[in-house]
A and B are shown apart, each in its own frame.
Chain A
Amino acid sequence: MRPPTPLNPSSRRTPRGFSLLEALFAAVVLGISVMAVISAITTAQQISFDGQKRVLAAIAADDYMIELATIPYTLLPFHDNTFHAIGQMTTLDATPYPNAFWPLSRSVTVTNATVEDDVFLTTIYGLQVVVTCDDEFHEYARVEMFIPDPAQ
């Protein structure tokens, strides 16, 4: 039978406080953790804000498209290159949008377009209307509609 191993005196920890170096090291670790939390919160807020902008942009783009659908076909080309700068969006009747829409701008393009009808083998002439809603960096919403020429 083996005799019990005596405790190694060098492995015994003597009670003592933290040194300054240890305290600083702990503060640095805490600081890094705080930075990580701040970064995560900022990212979450950015994503949340992005989602809100996306919803607002979809509403704003869709609104303008349905408004354009009410004006006569011959007047549509006059709305080509319409641009509402950031914070200056208005309805077709010049009613300004509320503050919630401030980060967004809106632009319209109207171009001649054709659509091939595979069933009747004909070409339909008309206008392609595109409404986009962006901020200064990204496009958040795009609505496209082909409006056939009623005179055709």
Chain B
Amino acid sequence: MIHHKRTTNPSRRGLSVLELMIALAITSMVALTLATVLTAASRGMSDAASTRSALQRVHAAHVRIRAYTDAALNILEHDPNQGIALWLHDEKPGGRVNLTELRVFWFDYDNERITIERIVFPEAWTQEMKDAADAELPLGAGYFLTMAGQRALGYTETSTIATGCTPTDFIFNNPTIIESNRLTLSASFDNGRGAAEPMLLVFALPNHKQPS
């Protein structure tokens, strides 16, 4: 005959209520710490990704715009609602602005982007035809209107140089635009999460000269 004997050996029993509560309390504290840290880390990562996204836009815009302004000779016209007209170079010497020497930065507020437009005559034209069409512009000509007119004729090319960018303020170092050789552009850059990162872009024209 077999007798079953109830054992009281501690090594063969489960946790007591007290032990279970201590273990639960420790586990809860660890879990709470982990949750807090992971939430903070997740928020931090998210913020960092947003800032990084905005910074990439800033850097791209800065480099692309400076590719023009570092070489440009003059800021010909500025209209906060439209853009900035630049005299890029004096390829046809004489100190006057020719059509092909003109560049216009357009601020597209609706689509949050900056584009640049230049005049390119048709490939099929001979050099004589291009030279004849590359007219000299009088000082103070309406450069935005001129560019729009050439666009209507189909003689312009436009490239996007900044996206997610909304200019908010322009500061020139001289009250007279064509005498300015430094421009500070305040702009907000989309950080990819619907929020805007305020930034400052500084441009200068070391080769500054005024058209005649």
Asked if A67 meets B58 with Cβ closer than 8 Å, knowing A48-B52, A98-B200, the reply is no
Q: Which residue of B lies closest to A47 (CB)?
A: B48
Bound-state CA distance A95–B198 (Å) is: 14
What residues on A are CB-neighbors of B184 within 8 Å? 91, 93, 95
What residues on A are CB-neighbors of B19 within 8 Å? 19-20, 23
Q: Does A63 reach chain B (CB closer than 8 Å)? A: yes
Sort chain A's interface into a size bin: 35 or more
Among candidates A18, A31, A91, A98, residue contacting B15 with C-beta atoms closer than 8 Å = A18
Bound-state CA distance A31–B173 (Å) is: 59
Sort chain B's interface into a size bin: 35 or more
Q: Contact: B200 with A97, CB < 8 Å?
A: yes
Bound-state CA distance A100–B27 (Å) is: 40
Q: Which residue of B lies closest to A41 (CB)?
A: B41
What residues on B are CB-neighbors of A19 within 8 Å? 11, 15, 19
Bound-state CA distance A51–B15 (Å) is: 51
Q: Does B34 reach chain A (CB closer than 8 Å)? A: yes
Distance in angstroms from A32 CB to nearest chain B CB is 11
Q: Does B177 reach chain A (CB closer than 8 Å)? A: no
Q: Does B4 reach chain A (CB closer than 8 Å)? A: no
Q: Does B14 reach chain A (CB closer than 8 Å)? A: yes
Distance in angstroms from B70 CB to nearest chain A CB is 7
What residues on B are CB-neighbors of A93 within 8 Å? 171, 173, 182, 184
Bound-state CA distance A44–B44 (Å) is: 10
Contacting residues of chain B (91-122) with chain A, CB-CB under 8 angstroms: none
Asked if A48 meets B48 with Cβ closer than 8 Å, knowing A23-B23, A34-B37, A69-B204, the reply is yes
